[in-house]
Amino acid sequence: MNFKQIGNKRDEILCTVQNADQTLIGSTTGIGPGIPLILQYPGSSAGPAVGSPGGASSSGQIFPENGLGVILPSSAQPGQAVTCFYGVNASQMLYQQQGYALVSGYYSAAVIVLQTRAASTTGWAATTLPNWALLTIDTVNNAFAVSVTTAANNAPAFAVLLGAISQTGTAATATATTNTNTMASSASTTADTRTVITATARIQVRCL
């Protein structure tokens, strides 16, 4: 675990993790920065047999111990993406590489679902993500998404959307403004085959 012990700047806590997502074997990108991470259980300390999750695979790969291995939300079992959420990935992490999960503090570029549509032939609807909204895990798109329940007193927030920042003025007289993350509606085009649009946004992680 890494955290600031002295000083008067903002605090953040990062925990060591290892990419244990077998769907990323051979991937040249792995888990990208800003992606929510999910703890993988069981790990090697659970003592499973060779070839089972958490043990040595038939190809000789060793799974990380409990509390170390992480996977993508799309690889999680039902319910696991929420209950085993372990912060946001701080840097690119290939399969079996170690990295850091930010589990408490400010993160400037988390991947947030901005828009979805049923098919590439459907137009995009206008969308606004409200600031201070509770975030949940989008297990299909491996990103954060604004929770259907946005009231802060309805559920404990493990991540909160802080909004976009615009700055005006010179360096000496600059003022910063918090904006909502908004995208206008648009008709479908044959060149755009996406069914989801993500954006990077500022969030406060409250995983501990």
DSSP string for 76-131: SPTTHHHHTEEEEE-S-B-TT-EEEEEEEEEEEEEEEEEEE-SSTTSPBPPEEEPT
* Cα-trace Rg, the chain: 19
Closest residue by Cα to residue 88 from 135, 38, 36: 36
Calpha distance 74→158 (Å, rounded): 18
| β-strand partners of 42 | none
Strand partners, 16: 100
Identify the pLDDT of residue 156. 52
Residues 192 and 26: beta-carbon distance below 8 Å: no
User: In terms of C-beta density within 10 A (0-12 exposed, 13-18 middle, 19 or more buried), how is residue 164 classed?
Assistant: middle
Per-residue pLDDT of the chain (208 residues; tens, 9 = 90+): 788 788 888 899 999 999 999 999 999 999 999 999 999 887 765 444 444 444 444 444 566 888 899 999 999 988 888 888 999 999 999 999 999 999 999 999 999 998 888 888 888 888 888 888 888 899 999 999 987 665 544 455 577 777 666 667 665 666 667 777 777 787 777 678 888 988 888 999 988 7
